[in-house]
Structure 1
């Protein structure tokens, strides 16, 4: 299995961050039909048709996608971990463009497990891949990036709280499929038979995306990244999964907020998850507090809201008896 050896200093200095490039690569996989988009709206037929036209216009890129872009492995140069200086998508994409062709082709050979198709051995392959990535960004990510970024930032706040409550073992073990904390500074990142890697003196990043499974990336020996699925946040902004009966009882906004508070969340997280404004969320949280359906507590600079036992019971009973939830009571 693939194991990263992570010292206490590396783990203490690791950080969560948002990457527009990583989200764009996740959308490339979805557009190409190599990954599902669970729980959220799939790309429109027009987007998929435009994507196929874009591939048809560049046979080299089409061959690259058909042979190299895989859900389980990709060349390292396609998705490098963001550097501290990167602020925008184009900052991140610059690293892809600047990859020497010989390096890119060597990574393609590794991804394919053998030789590179002769048609891919072109001197401008990194530029062509970067152009396709920029197209995916412009057509499928950039229009929704502000709201999606807020959702990712909310997930980061939630993960950080997990660490403060349960430690790194809890936060890392549930982050992505096949990954778990083994103890003694060992992080299993996948189940492949790869030699262990020592991340001493390296920067370790954790990046949420809408990818179904996620992946790992590195710019050796400086930066390593774990790209993970943004847990439970695939619903479109403004929608809630609250039972209809609960919405009728409390009102749709309060029902949605109460439903989200199965784990402690800040006002900022609730704004991102619900799609409602800060004032609206704050006003309805006060009503839920006054009704003793939620509590609040301070954690560092954040104020976290969470359901009381009464709130838990209310949501549970309504979920078990609501036909729209697809569940029924076993009593």
Structure 2
């Protein structure tokens, strides 16, 4: 089935890109819950699935709201107010969802899945209070599964937006749409989605269009249509295939002269998030020394800390990634750390 969304001059004027944390939460949770061995995301799933199970998030609110396939309630993806809203801003939008919207979405979920789970039934009965609990669980999931990797993910998303915005500026919106995905095409002042199962028209959608890249969305785009908000089209981001590839080790002598050898060694070891204990084991440094160095690196904005059960995971920030890329031979300036042209 093919859906067709007409565009007026006003709709084109209101079209924009956005990077959305919640469009990574839903698809990434579905991938983890499926147990599938994704060739692209295998390094990430191998690290995160045990944390998910240990925290009980494989049987909580998200387990009922995000089924293995099919529809995900639209209230989980509020329209991004800006180009890159924070998770905190999007969770505020979820908590503020009208009760009528929540119940309407859950009615559709029940229709497609055949039933609602025990938690979603209580959400249906009391949306206002239960949405607070849903938002809290999403925050926990974010800290476990996505926040430690967000600098790397965000680099790919930003590179995609930059590339496509430049493409649109050079070749026009029609070329942008035709190059977005094989299932998306443009012609006769309309956007066509060949794999959308439900009808789509300006009568059932808001004005404009939000284009949202995602590294976890899978092989086909997803849409969210809840007027009067603009329709959202989430599509697979360019460069996702190299997202988790190991980065080439750079010559860090100059960086070590500024930061010190031990701090620089810890930054290079944080190719994937790790705890103080794991870093001590890898480097041969004492746990106390590692803790001291990480505190200094965190104060300088080079690492971030994320609670994972009884442990704390440390991850490189975007600033640290940029420093390491600058000292990596063969990595061109103007490229994201994942190698995606900017």
* TM-score of the aligned structures, taking structure 1 as reference length: 0.64
- Partner of residue 161, structure 2: 156
Counterpart Cα distance in 2 of 1:190 and 1:36: 27
- Shift, 1:278, TM fit: 6.7
- Partner of residue 227, structure 2: 220
Match of 1:178 among 183, 203, 207: 183
Q: Does 1:188 align with 2:188?
A: no
Superposed CA offset, 1:199-218 (max 9, x none): 78724211111121341124
- Partner of residue 202, structure 2: 198
Match of 1:90 among 73, 88, 91: 88
- Shift, 1:158, TM fit: 1.0
Counterpart Cα distance in 2 of 1:172 and 1:35: 30
> What is the SS of the residue equivalent to 1:208?
strand
- Shift, 1:53, TM fit: 4.4
Counterpart Cα distance in 2 of 1:2 and 1:36: 32
Match of 1:229 among 236, 252, 255: 236
Q: Does 1:69 align with 2:70?
A: no
Superposed CA offset, 1:178-211 (max 9, x none): 2222x12211234334333217872421111112
Residues 36-47 of structure 1 correspond to what in structure 2 (within 5 A)? 37-45=38-46, 47=48
Q: Structure 2 stretches of 5 or more lacking a match?
A: 249-317, 335-340
- Shift, 1:80, TM fit: 1.9
Given the superposition, is the C-alpha separation of residues 170 and 277 from structure 1 closer, same or farther in structure 2, using an over 3 Å criterion?
farther
Q: Greater CA deviation, 145-154 or 49-58?
A: 49-58
- Shift, 1:280, TM fit: 5.2
Residues 109-148 of structure 1 correspond to what in structure 2 (within 5 A)? 109-113=107-111, 116-117=115-116, 119=118, 120-122=120-122, 123=126, 124-148=129-153
- Answer whether contact 1:82 1:92 (CA < 8 A) is retained: yes
**Aligned positions, number:** 255
Counterpart Cα distance in 2 of 1:56 and 1:73: 20
> What is the SS of the residue equivalent to 1:180?
strand
* TM-score of the aligned structures, taking structure 2 as reference length: 0.62
Given the superposition, is the C-alpha separation of residues 51 and 239 from structure 1 closer, same or farther in structure 2, using an over 3 Å criterion?
closer
CA RMSD, 1 decimal:
3.7
Q: Does 1:16 align with 2:21?
A: no
- Partner of residue 97, structure 2: 99
Q: Does 1:4 align with 2:2?
A: no
Given the superposition, is the C-alpha separation of residues 134 and 41 from structure 1 closer, same or farther in structure 2, using an over 3 Å criterion?
same
Given the superposition, is the C-alpha separation of residues 19 and 282 from structure 1 closer, same or farther in structure 2, using an over 3 Å criterion?
farther
- Partner of residue 293, structure 1: none
Given the superposition, is the C-alpha separation of residues 42 and 190 from structure 1 closer, same or farther in structure 2, using an over 3 Å criterion?
farther
Q: Greater CA deviation, 153-162 or 191-200?
A: 191-200
- Shift, 1:176, TM fit: 3.5
Counterpart Cα distance in 2 of 1:104 and 1:11: 30
- Answer whether contact 2:156 2:238 (CA < 8 A) is retained: no
- Answer whether contact 1:21 1:79 (CA < 8 A) is retained: yes
Counterpart Cα distance in 2 of 1:118 and 1:26: 20
- Partner of residue 27, structure 1: 28
- Shift, 1:235, TM fit: 1.4
Counterpart Cα distance in 2 of 1:40 and 1:57: 18
Counterpart Cα distance in 2 of 1:206 and 1:110: 24
> What is the SS of the residue equivalent to 1:172?
helix
- Answer whether contact 2:183 2:194 (CA < 8 A) is retained: yes
- Shift, 1:69, TM fit: 2.7
- Answer whether contact 1:80 1:218 (CA < 8 A) is retained: no
Counterpart Cα distance in 2 of 1:168 and 1:192: 21
